[in-house]
Structure 1
Amino acid sequence: MKIKELADIAGVSVRTLHHYDKIGLLTPDTNKVNGYRDYADTDISRLQQILFFRQLNFKLTQIKEILDSPYYDKTEALQIQKSIILKEQSRLNSILKLIDKTISSEKGEMMMTNKEKFEGVDFSHNPYEEEAKEKWGSDAVDKSKRNLKKTGTKEAERRFNGIYTELANVRHLEPESEDAQQQIHEWYEFLNEIGDYSPEMFKSLGDMYVEDERFTRNINKFGDGLAQFMQQAMSIYYENHKK
């Protein structure tokens, strides 16, 4: 999809999409023939998430941090966004009740103490933003960066390539086979050295390997069909290790 088409269906300006591209928030592939931006389905889904978070008053820098976090899972994000909206709906209902009570007080229909003028509503902070930051934000990302620094970038890259090469060597086996599951276990262990992945998160990551064309393309450089094989093997690994 071209940039003008996406702008029209999403209800945003072309200038906004250019800005998202410039700051690395939404970066589509560039057509090598005509130089135009080509938005894939994964880009469009990412834009939807960006706009959902914008409606919840998240800053662009925060949204980028969330979407790029190794802990990010789209389905989980949608569920949290729904929870945030329901909580916000409840909060707004509390404010409406307080406003109605204040109107009655101003009309002389009742008396309100100063304390009652602020009861039932917390004006001090945004707990929903904090909930999201706790899930995907700075602390989680910083932990991964610290662990990666301990491992060493070159060493981590060497092990990363080694694990992917070994997985490519067994990709023609059944994903539930002992050899395949042993190799996928090595991948799970490595991820948990630099991050904190539950079996559920591990499975979600595997799903991204086939849902996001960029993941698929990069992984399949190690061997045709590797992304699909890893997704299946990681799903089986989850079923064998879920609590």
Structure 2
Amino acid sequence: MRTVKQVSDLTGVSVRALHYYDEIGLLKPNKITDVGYRLYDDEAIKTLQQILFFKEIDIPLKEVKEIMSSQYFDKVEALKNQKKLLILKRKRLDELIELINKTIEGESTINFKEFDMSEYFNVLEEFKKDHKNKIIKIYGNAERYDELIEKVKSSEEKIAKMAIKQYGTIEKFAKAIKTNFSSDILSLGEKFDIYKNDCLKEKHPKLKELYRKLVEDLSKNPSSKELQEIAREITDISKKDYEIFYMDTGDDNWYSMVQNYLVNPIWIKNIDEKYGDGAGKFIGQTLEIYLGDKKPKINILHEKLVSDLSRDCSSKEVQSIVEEIDNEMKKSNEFYKIDNGERYFDYMAELYLSNSTYIKVTDKKYGDGTSKFIGEAFKFYFDSNNL
């Protein structure tokens, strides 16, 4: 056992700091003698080392305490992640030192690549520190999230160009990402997961009965009166018992859930494994028929936009539809507290006009030439409103 003075001499951490760690419950001594001396064993010294690693990657003490006291905390896993982050930090410092040396040697350069994305990366790291449990829930473990950050770093130049195109500056992009991380859109996914989990594990007795009844015979006509009555009951119960479907955007969320049965390969596979091949799309078709034309307004507006590709993209008629799309998106962004950037339509226009994936998906959904039409309409709208 070591006294607080001995621990201070060994680690370089001041006695005052060790007393403070004790006060806030971050590092408690193993024993306090009758005369008030704090004593620490080897395990406590290892814990202190872990704390210092966290401090080295700029995590506040309050958050270090939360992380280390979490039921998910794994010392070995934490050390692996800390090592990765320290290596990245060292690489960053090496780049800055190299830039300084070039400047000292008189090399004139206007290359600010070393600074471009640092604020954005800081946001990603902050999110990890602030939402440890959420990251584990979304990615499975913190290591996968670190891999995502490293992947992003490897595409730094590409992402920087995208960020400037959509948000104007890296600073605005980083601020928007921070806003979006704290938005309601993440909790929306969790609410969807609650419904999906209940369906797969049949936790809702009535829905269990209805879904099983619906897939008893997949050869039946999804539009039959019998199946449409089941679809009505499923819809009504889902909208009554699950927040995701009775909140202000509930109808739009239910539409998205129905689409999951039709186009989401992972969800379709899960349903087919549970009820039999073809069950996923069968359920989707049945629910979609009952849903009728109750599509989200944003979907209706996009269909309206591409209903006649012979129109002039710059015409008042087409531009008024794009303006409606813009207004509808602003309402949604305000509701979920999302920042899409001041140059969003310029960014989207480029995707519709030049991104092969966007073009393929859009043209398959609406017909050949629609991606180009939407892109040109969006581009004209943005340019007209940013003269």
Shorter-chain-normalised TM-score: which range? Answer: 0.3 to 0.5
TM score, norm. by length of structure 2: 0.31
Which structure exhibits the higher relative contact order, with contacts defined as CA atoms closer than 8 Å and separated by 6 or more residues? Answer: 1
TM score, norm. by length of structure 1: 0.47
